[in-house]
A = this chain, B = another copy of it.
Amino acid sequence: MIGSNPIVEALSAGGYRMTGPRRAVADLIAGHDGHFTAAELELAARERRLDISRATLFRALDLLTELGVVERLDLPTGEHAYVPCAPAHHHHLICSRCGRATDVADCGVAEAVGEIARRSGYRIDSHRLELFGLCRHCQAKTTTDA
């Protein structure tokens, strides 16, 4: 967990100052592989006695979203959550149980989108696909632990 953190790297690559709070947020996120809400992150920070004000936390999340190392997504419940991810186009596959998010390559989505464009006459500029289900691990554990 010590060592290169892609988020830290993105910050310095972007010319942003490396501050305590930002580093803390970066580490918090890096040590977390599911999606998380701002509130959850705040709680995690408090538990580890990292003192980050809410405003700073939101500002950091905004920044990281802009840098593309984190993406904001909308859960089916309407909650806003964030997932760490590589700054490239991809889709998110989210486990409804453990919250783990996996980046998904295209797998034919682009083609389908092209077909939709053709049929509708729209010029499609962007699309967002969010997939929800159970990861392999959680399927195996049937409905055991929380």
| Chain A interfacial positions (CB closer than 8 Å to B) | 72, 74, 76, 78, 80, 91, 93, 95-96, 102, 104, 106-109, 111-113, 115-117, 119-136, 139
Contact = CB atoms under 8 A, between A and B. Distances in A.
A134 B123 contact: yes
Contacts of A96: 125
Contact of A130 (B107, B112, B119, B127): B127
25 contacts: A76-B126, A78-B80, A91-B116, A93-B116, A104-B120, A107-B112, A107-B116, A109-B112, A109-B129, A120-B135, A120-B136, A122-B136, A123-B134, A123-B139, A124-B131, A124-B133, A125-B133, A125-B134, A126-B133, A127-B129, A127-B130, A128-B129, A128-B130, A129-B129, A129-B130
Query: What are the 3 A-B residue pairs with the smallest beta carbon separation, nearest first?
Result: A108-B112, A124-B133, A121-B136
